[in-house]
Amino acid sequence: MWSLAVFLGVAFAINSGAGAETALLLGLPIATLALIVKNIYNGMFIPLLCHKADAYAEMGDTRGIERMHLISGIGLSLTLGIIVTVSYLAGVNMVKGFLDAIPEFIKHGLSVATGIIPALGFAMLARLLINKKVAPYFFLGFVLMAYLKFR
């Protein structure tokens, strides 16, 4: 989703004659809009295609399963492509207006979820890396850094 934000943010910044700050400022609302649309697509459309693919699997129709797989990928790409095109043609004000229409409790929920994601990622990484073989080295490294004040 950030790639969409980069494309449109840079395009808006270049067209308006503004700098990189403007591209960064515009990138977040555009990425948020694209992420909302992607989540709606994945939550509503993909399950329908999965059920259809299951029906094809029961019939033994591998070509039907392939079609459902291709439709899901092409559909998402087409949907996001339409968002990029419409956003660029309509301009920054339309994108910001759409995001301003989103209720505050949804924005707050997205903000909280965004704050949780790094902690969750770190916990998953720590769970993967820390085991009985390497745990003593992590603690030894921490103690050495803390007491010897290496920086």
What pLDDT score was predicted for residue 52?
Answer: 95
- Domain segments of the chain: what residues? 1-102, 103-151
What pLDDT score was predicted for residue 8?
Answer: 77
Confidence of residue 18 (pLDDT cuts 50, 70, 90): low
% of the chain surpassing 90 pLDDT? 18
Helix/strand/coil (H, E, C) string of the chain?
A: CHHHHHHHHHHHHHHHCCCHHHHHHHHHHHHHHHHHHHHHHHHHHHHHHHHHHHHHHHHCCHHHHHHHHHHHHHHHHHHHHHHHHHHHHHCHHHHHHHHHCCCHHHHHHHHHHHHHHHHHHHHHHHHHHCCCCCHHHHHHHHHHHHHHCCC
Confidence of residue 22 (pLDDT cuts 50, 70, 90): low
Whether residue 108 is predicted with pLDDT greater than 90 in this model: the reply is: no
Whether residue 109 is predicted with pLDDT greater than 70 in this model: the reply is: yes
